[in-house]
């Protein structure tokens, strides 16, 4: 797994609109994520198929999504509140940055 600097994985600013989430990192880079893609990549146990389910069962039929809010979880992650009332996913900053940089980033903690 690639090692990223603390500045590369610390957000300076987090914004969202109807279609995307934008993070400006402390190292000056900007990452833009499509909301639908992020929702379908939710790292929570239900969306990942835990408790006897299958991966994609809860997210596979989602055609559009909006973000109602983004809460910070300490200094390491965000907790989105989605328009489908789903709000159990915690997206780590490390995984988001790796995803944006094409280094993997499966959004698990």
**Of 103, 34, 43, which is closest to residue 66 (Cα–Cα)?**
34
d(C-alpha 10, C-alpha 104), whole Å: 18
Position 108 confidence tier, pLDDT thresholds 50, 70, 90: very low
Decide the pairing of beta strands 67-73 and 91-92.
unpaired
3-56 pLDDT, tens digit each = 788 999 999 999 999 999 999 999 999 999 999 999 999 988 888 876 665 555
Supply the CATH classification number for the domain 8-101.
3.30.2020.30
64-75 pLDDT, tens digit each = 999 999 999 999
Q: List the structure tokens of 22.
A: 């934008």
Q: List the structure tokens of 50.
A: 């835990």
More confident residue, 76 or 47: 76
Q: List the structure tokens of 95.
A: 């995984």
pLDDT of residue 56: 55
d(C-alpha 51, C-alpha 66), whole Å: 26
């Amino acid at each position: 797994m690639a090692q990223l600097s603390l500045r590369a994985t610390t957000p300076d600013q987090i914004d969202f609109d109807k279609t995307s989430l934008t993070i400006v990192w402390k190292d000056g880079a900007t990452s833009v994520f499509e909301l639908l893609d992020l929702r379908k990549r939710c790292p929570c146990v239900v969306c990942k198929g835990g408790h006897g389910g299958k991966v994609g069962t809860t997210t596979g039929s989602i055609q559009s999504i909006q973000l109602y809010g983004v809460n910070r979880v300490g200094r390491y992650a965000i907790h989105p509140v989605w328009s489908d009332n789903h709000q159990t996913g915690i997206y780590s900053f490390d995984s988001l940055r790796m995803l944006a940089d094409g280094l993997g980033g499966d959004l698990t903690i």
